[in-house]
Structure 1
C-alpha cells in the first residue's frame, strides 16, 4: 500500500494502470507488425485473446481486430478550411465527413497527423473541393432547410453508439459522461464512454464538447479546453439570439 501511494504520487497513476498502459503500447506495436491477436496476447504477457480484447475495450473503446484494421480499403480526401474556430482540417470519404479537427492548439501539421494516424491504412488525397459543400453546410455558411453535412462514422460499434448518443444532445445544452453511458445502455461503462468521447474523430459535428464531468467541471477536450469553451460560448450565444 505504501509503495502504491508513493508510485501514484510520483508517476501520477497507479502501478496497475501504468502496467496496463505499457502492455497496451506493446500490443499496439505487435498488431502494427501483423501479429495475430492470439500471438499479441501471449507476447504481451496476457493469458489469452480475451484479456487482450478487454484491455483494448477499456482503453481504446474498440477490439484489437478493429484497431488493426484502421481504415484499410478507404479512400480519404482532405483539406484545410477557415471556420469560426480557426483553421480546421477536414477529412471525408465518398459517403461523408469522417474527420474534423482544429489547429489552434496543436498547429496544422500535428492536427493533420492526429487525424491521419487514426486510419493509417487508408489512402489519402488532398482534395478540398470535394469537401467544400459539406464543410460550408457544417459551419452554417450554406443555409439549406433540413440539410446536414453527411457523416461517415469510422469506429468500433461501441464508439459509434457513444457518438450517436452525443448527436442527440441539443445545441446550447450539455450532458455528462454518466448520462451518455446510460443512453447507450451501459451505465457502468463511464470510463469506456469517456475514452470513446475522447476518440471522437469529427469534432463540432459530433458534439463531444457538450460532455462534462458529473460535477459540472469542463473535463478534457482533445483540441484544447480553450476550443471547448469557445464552442460552448458560441452555441450559448446562438441559442439566446
Structure 2
C-alpha cells in the first residue's frame, strides 16, 4: 500500500496516541472510519509513520472526543473477546483487500499459513505477495495479520514485532 494511494481520499484525519500493554498505540480516522492503527515503542515515531502514510492530509491530534476511539481499540487489544465495533476505512490494492478480507475471516485464537491464505483468495502461487500485503496492513488488530503464520505453524514476520504477535495470539486463545 503506497502513501500515494492512501492520500487520495484522506484530506483530513484525526488521531490520538495512547498506551496499551503492547506499547504505544496510535489510532487515526478519516471521515469514513479508522484508517490506521499503529503499535510501537515510540509515540513520536508512530506520529511520523502516520505523517508518512498521509503526507498531504491535514492531521489533527488532541481531540478528546476522538480519544474514546483509542480507548475502544486499547480495550480490544487487552480483551479481544470484546470485539471491535468501529467503522473502518480500509485502503489498499484489490489484492491487498482480498488478503485482508481473508485475514478477517480467520477466527480469533486461530491461525492460517500464508500459503493457505493465498489458496483461500484464489492465488495459490502468491504466497510472498500475501506476506507483503500483511506487512502493508495499516490497521493492526482490526485486520488481524498477526494470525498469519509460516507453513510449519511457527511465527514469522510481524510489522510490529514477533513478541507482540505472540501476545495477541495468546490473548485470543485465552492464554
Q: Same fold (TM over 0.5)?
A: yes
Higher relative contact order (CA 8 A, sep 6+): 2
Q: TM-score, normalised by structure 1?
A: 0.63
Closer, same or farther: CA 67–117 of 1 in aligned 2, 3 Å? closer
Counterparts of 2:112 and 2:136 in 1: how far apart (Å)? 17
Higher relative strand content? 2
Q: 2:64 corresponds to which residue?
A: 129
Larger radius of gyration: 1
For structure 1, the residue ranges without an aligned partner over 5 or more in a row are: 1-61
What's the CA shift for 1:67? Answer: 5.8
Q: Contact (CA 8 Å) 2:146, 2:158: kept in 1 or not?
A: yes
Q: Distance in 2 between matches of 1:176 and 1:100?
A: 23
Q: Take 1:73 and 1:174, find their aligned partners in 2: how far apart are those partners? A: 32
- Rounded Cα–Cα distance in structure 2 between residues aligned with 1:196 and 1:215: 20
Equivalent position SS for 1:80: strand
User: Given that residues 99 and 117 in structure 2 are in contact (C-alpha distance below 8 angstroms), is that contact kept between their aligned partners in structure 1?
Assistant: yes
SS in 2 for 1:237: coil
Counterpart for residue 112 of structure 1: 47
Instruction: Give 5+ residue unaligned stretches, structure 2.
Output: none
- How far residue 147 of structure 1 moved from its aligned partner, in angstroms, is 6.8
Aligned to 1:76: 13
Q: CA RMSD in A?
A: 2.4
Aligned length: 170
